Amino acid sequence: MSDISLVEGITIYVPIFLLSITIHEFFHAWSANKFGDPTAKNLGRLTLMPHAHLDLLGTAVFFLSHFTFGWAKPVPVNPFNLKNPARDDFWISFAGPLSNFGQAIIFGFLFQVLILNYGLQSSYFQTFFQAGVLINLVLAFFNLIPLFPLDGSHMLRYFIPDKYDAQMEQFERYSPFLLLFLFFTGIHSYILGPLIGPMYRILLGY
């Protein structure tokens, strides 16, 4: 993605990024509300308006990383409002990545129907649909990494016995530093690449 032009970045990747993270966070808020926690709803996060979910640093990183990586504000969840905190938090956390997989499938479907089957001659829409698949797969798989504060860390908690809570809290304390290490060394690409690549090609019909 290093060959993305500034025009492509502004007209294609930025809109898709905003759409993708907005839907991701919306489904966190929606599922939390369904499981009995109205915290996100009360804070105005149960909305499809992008400005409610934007994180200043995450958006800045998206531009600085040449439209390849960024994040939104995490949706707050109060576990005391949940009937079954461990189980409910698992599904609330999984809702975000699931929404990204859903978006990737939709973008891939549109690409196959409009570009491959109907032969739509538009380099803009071709790139738009491809970027939609790629960005959403990156967001989905990245958020499933079981390192705090990513969604995967909350999902991992569901499978860890309560007797290991102290060890998990200590692990989570250092997880952000490990996450930064993976990102800045590029190791995350070697982890996510083998997962994203095949699904990207399948969804685009290659």
CA triple 118-104-48, angle to 5 deg: 110
Is 169 in the active site? no
Whether 135 contacts 13, CB under 8 Å: yes
Rg over CA atoms, the chain: 18
Structure tokens at 14: 């930025």
DSSP per-residue codes, 83-147: SSHHHHHHHHHHHHHHHHHHHHHHHHHHIIIIIIIS----HHHHHHHHHHHHHHHHHHHHHTSSS
Distance between CA atoms of residues 28 and 151, nearest Å = 10
**Alpha-carbon distances of 132 from 86, 184, 189, rounded to whole Å:** 32, 24, 18
Cβ contacts of 135 within 8 Å, gap of 6 or more:
13, 16, 17, 20
Q: Which of 8, 25, 169, 172 is catalytic?
A: 25
Report, as residue numbers or ranges, the catalytic residues: 25
